[in-house]
Amino acid sequence: MSGTHQEPNYMAVFYSLAVLTAVEIAVAYMRFLPLLIMGFMLVVLALVKAILVGMYFMHLKFEKRTLGIIALTPLILCTLLIIALLPDLTGTKRKSETVAVEQAQQEEVEQPADGQQEAVQ
């Protein structure tokens, strides 16, 4: 039979996933790491786990290469989308927003409180 393949050692894959999960939990509790590095490490660990699941439990390792490319396409698109949207997530205020806020604060300072207006009249 040319279409058969050797069954993978599912328990080895399971133990690998369990170890990677334990490492993810350990990284999540490392408070001394900067958030960017921690996030990057968690994403890489999750990606490795997803590759293991796809390769062995979804049997992509034993399929034609084109099916693997089809499975990889959403990852590439998602990465490009995240990179394209990063400027929107920076949280920096635009110049027009800061000018409007400063004008509103200046108007509040210039207008006296209600009690002061009555006392003047």
What local confidence, expressed as pLDDT, does residue 3 receive?
63
Amino acid 31: pLDDT: 87
Kindly give the interhelix angle for 10-28 and 35-52, rounded to the nearest 10 degrees: 170
pLDDT of residue 1: 42
**Sign of the CA dihedral running 95, 96, 101, 104:** positive
Long-range contacts of 84-88 (CB under 8 A, 24+ apart): none
Burial classification of residue 56, based on how many CB atoms lie within 10 Å of its CB (0-12 exposed, 13-18 middle, 19 or more buried): buried
pLDDT of residue 121: 54
- At residue 75, the pLDDT reads 83
Which parts of the chain have pLDDT scores under 70? 1-5, 91-97, 112-121
